[in-house]
Amino acid sequence: MKTITNLFFTLVLFWSGVIFAQFTNVQINDPASTSPEEVTIAINTANPQRLAGGANIAYSYRSTDGGITWSESVMSSSLGVWGDPSVIYDGLGNLYFAHLSNPSSGGYWIDRIVVQKSTDNGLTWSDGAGVGFSSPKNQDKEWLAVDLTGSAYDGNIYMTWTEFDNYGSSNSSDSSRILFSRSTDQGETWSVPVIVSDVSGDCIDSDNTTEGAVPAVGPNGEIYVSWAGPLGLMFDKSTDGGLTFGTDVFVSDIPGGWDYNVSGISRANGLPITACDASASPYGGNIYVNWSDQRNGTSDTDIFLAKSTDGGATWSAPKRVNNDFGNRQQFFTWMDVDQTNGFVYFVFYDRRNTTGNMTDVYVARSVDGCETFQNFKVNEVTFDTESGIFFGDYIDIAAHNGKVYPIWTKMDAPDLSVWTALIDDASLPVELISFFADRINNGIELFWKTVSETNNKGFEVERKKAKGESIWESVGFVEGAATSTETKSYSFSDENISGGKYKYRLKQIDFDGSFKYSEEIAVDLTLPGKFELEQNYPNPFGAASRSGNLQTTIGYSVPSIQLILSKESGDAERGQTIAGASGGPVNVSLKVYDVLGREIAALVDAAKPAGHYEINFNAGNLPSGIYFYRMKAGEFTDSRKMLLLK
């Protein structure tokens, strides 16, 4: 643990999406349709202007202009259409729409998975192929993948899902399992399902049920899939086109389980998504598993990722994808890999900058094989949620050749709507991951770091008095790194400034003259610049001392500290919150001990705002001797000795 001295910092929540970017939001659904949820999206890599989407319970969406405009239709099939949509294109541009069944005759509720096919980008659809019928079992939560790698299995379509002996049953004789099926003839027929999971789960549809199987394809046609269940997050693979699967491999635990609660959401889950970098990038072959859980508290759901660089044999420790450091919720995550460059994108609902159940949508991006993550807000309108309205079980994201399309459900109670954001990776601006200040003598030292820059000429440093001034003045300029995907560190010294309260911001300027502003950080030179525990006075003290006083005074200082924030790690460790993470008071403890380390008195145990304090200690009931007093505030600790003479 590091003792923090002579520093004061301000809250840094600076990101291109948080502060700068305003991505174009497009409503996908017909406004007359007011109940769509559980959304899916796909890009036709043979014609990237063509996009497809879907939503519960039977909505199909199509775009022919890169997502600028959309049309909506309602799916129908003799086998029934009952939600859990998943859409995907094959390499020929054929579109597939998988969903649950509910036939009006000749079957029963979710008795099979149905895969319908369109050869005209969703204008018309086949009646669909039924997959996995096994009376009286139930088939649920399917997802599709397609081999586009040029391998021996190129063009194969794969699907994984959960089979229940009896959905919702608590009978110990009923179990659930992960199944797999493939089509080698463009969705016309499907293979007899293969059991993937070695260990079954229950049928309750909760933490001990095997669910969340999303298949992915490796660079040589491998098939990868992970899921959640009674053993945690598990993984398996096939190297023969799905004919056989191996032994399950443990990926991670899921503290609190995958079936958790989020306020304002009717039901929530942290079920995993599997993806693989099948590109020729330096990270080609990496396998990624993305999920959410509540290991950091029930009010602090976070997004996580584990990766394997050896074909799934071993897995990294969980890395945290969301880079906020507050006690807020991030939930319902999805992930996709841009197979043209290996960049990985995530989408999730996020409440880092809101209160109550107000919700935003964030995208995270990694360009280094999921070692670090950039976060940016993509929705234009923050929305509220109500638990009495079903919100669906997932969202989705698709990426190809630098074009990124997250898809999400927005709630305007009681109505729901489906939205996307049009993201061009090439236009993503400079991403600042930290911005803070250090008080040095009569000046201020500013520090900041970026993890990516695009056409960045540099940073103009601006300052103004916190009160009484409305005009920012430029106090210096620091050259940028032009275009870079590496971490860059910058600093600037503002010297010989008079006491007072100031604000600083960065004006990031592109080579074309366009510019964007960072968040402001506040600096108060009138307050202490460091934690400090002072020597008591008088000392010695007591009846036999020169002062003859049984009372002594202890002084201490609390600096203007709000938050020390590092967005560089991206792993499962929390940001290092030292004191007053909300920008408010600091929790201070000041206690007195005897020479044996026994606590004698607790003088302070309270939250204190920045300032200088004094407290009196009366030793009237104590014997003569040496005593110690210790102050703790966040990671700051200091002790001093005092002498009592009676």
Q: What is the pLDDT of residue 217?
A: 98
446 and 398 in a single domain? The answer is no
Render pLDDT for 419-452 as a digit per residue (tens, 0 to 9): 999 999 887 767 777 788 877 766 888 999 887 7
Name 432's bridge partners: 450
Q: Which two three-digit tokens encode residue 142?
A: 């399917």
Task: Decide: residue 330, CB within 10 A, 0-12 exposed, 13-18 middle, 19+ buried.
Answer: buried
In Å, the largest CA–CA distance within the chain is 101
373 and 333 in a single domain? The answer is yes
Whole-number CA gyration radius for the chain: 29
CATH at residue 627: 2.60.40.2550
Q: Is residue 473 part of a domain?
A: yes
Render pLDDT for 467-495 as a digit per residue (tens, 0 to 9): 777 789 999 999 999 888 777 899 999 98
Q: Is residue 7 part of a domain?
A: no
Those residues with Cβ within 8 angstroms of residue 441's Cβ, 6 or more apart along the chain or in another chain: none
Q: How confident is the model at residue 360 (pLDDT cuts 50, 70, 90)?
A: very high
Query: Could you say which of 479, 496, 524 is where a domain stops?
Result: 524
Q: Which two three-digit tokens encode residue 121?
A: 């980008």
CA 550 to mean position of chain CA atoms: 56
191 and 328 in a single domain? The answer is yes
Q: Are 609 and 631 in contact (CB under 8 A)?
A: no
Q: What is d(CA 298, CA 472) in angstroms, rounded to the nearest whole number? A: 42
Q: Is residue 121 part of a domain?
A: yes
Compute how many other C-beta atoms are within 10 angstroms of the C-beta atom of residue 227. 30
Whether the upstream peptide bond of residue 136 has omega within 30° of 0, thus cis, is yes
Q: Among candidates 501, 493, 455, 495, which has minimal Cα distance to 477? A: 493
395 and 438 in a single domain? The answer is no
The predicted model gives 95-112 an average pLDDT of 96
Q: Which two three-digit tokens encode residue 53?
A: 């989407």
Q: Is residue 202 part of a domain?
A: yes
Q: Among candidates 423, 374, 362, which has minimal Cα distance to 43? A: 423
DSSP state of 329: -
613 and 509 in a single domain? The answer is no
Q: What is the pLDDT of residue 39?
A: 98
* Segments in 197-259 forming alpha helices (H): none
520 and 537 in a single domain? The answer is no
Indicate whether 389 pLDDT > 90.
Answer: yes
Domain count, the chain: 3
Q: Among candidates 434, 645, 615, 588, which has minimal Cα distance to 534? A: 615
Q: Which amino acid is at 150?
A: G
| φ, ψ for residue 473, nearest 5 deg | -115, 145
DSSP state of 455: E
CATH at residue 485: 2.60.40.10
Indicate whether 258 pLDDT > 90.
Answer: yes
Those residues with Cβ within 8 angstroms of residue 207's Cβ, 6 or more apart along the chain or in another chain: 228, 230, 254, 257, 258, 259
Q: Which two three-digit tokens encode residue 491?
A: 């600093």
Q: What is d(CA 474, CA 492) in angstroms, rounded to the nearest whole number? A: 12
Q: Is residue 447 part of a domain?
A: yes
Q: What is the pLDDT of residue 116?
A: 98
Q: Which two three-digit tokens encode residue 274?
A: 């599997």
Q: What is the pLDDT of residue 561?
A: 46
298: phi > 0 → left, psi -120 to 50 → alpha, else beta; which? Answer: alpha
Q: Are 369 and 307 in contact (CB under 8 A)?
A: yes
519 and 609 in a single domain? The answer is no
Sign of the alpha-carbon dihedral angle for 424, 425, 426, 429: positive
Query: Could you say which of 500, 524, 548 is where a domain stops?
Result: 524
Q: What is d(CA 426, CA 428) in angstroms, rounded to the nearest whole number? A: 6
Q: What is the pLDDT of residue 559?
A: 79
Q: Which two three-digit tokens encode residue 159?
A: 């699907």
Q: How many helices (H) and strands (E) does the chain have?
A: 0, 44
Q: Is residue 179 part of a domain?
A: yes
600 and 509 in a single domain? The answer is no
Q: What is the pLDDT of residue 12?
A: 32
Query: Could you say which of 427, 443, 477 is where a domain stops?
Result: 427
| φ, ψ for residue 247, nearest 5 deg | -90, 135
The predicted model gives 580-595 an average pLDDT of 76
CATH at residue 393: 2.120.10.10
Q: Is residue 288 part of a domain?
A: yes
418 and 563 in a single domain? The answer is no
The predicted model gives 500-523 an average pLDDT of 86
Residue 465, CB-side half-sphere exposure with 13 Å CA sphere: 9
Q: What is d(CA 184, CA 228) in angstroms, rounded to the nearest whole number? A: 28
84 and 187 in a single domain? The answer is yes
Mean of pLDDT over the chain = 89
142 and 272 in a single domain? The answer is yes
Choice among 19-28, 339-348, 512-521 with the minimum mean pLDDT: 19-28
Q: Are 427 and 442 in contact (CB under 8 A)?
A: no
Q: What is d(CA 519, CA 435) in angstroms, rounded to the nearest whole number? A: 9
350 and 487 in a single domain? The answer is no
pTM: 0.73
Q: Is residue 104 part of a domain?
A: no
The predicted model gives 163-178 an average pLDDT of 98
Q: How confident is the model at residue 228 (pLDDT cuts 50, 70, 90)?
A: very high
Domain hosting 501: range is: 431-524
Whether the upstream peptide bond of residue 57 has omega within 30° of 0, thus cis, is yes
Name 234's bridge partners: 227, 250
- Beta-sheet strands, E only, within 559-635: 586-593, 599-608, 611-618, 625-633
By residue count, the chain amounts to: 646
Q: What is d(CA 44, CA 32) in angstroms, rounded to the nearest whole number? A: 27
- The H or E element spanning position 305 is strand 302-308
Choice among 1-5, 228-232, 339-343, 458-462 with the minimum mean pLDDT: 1-5
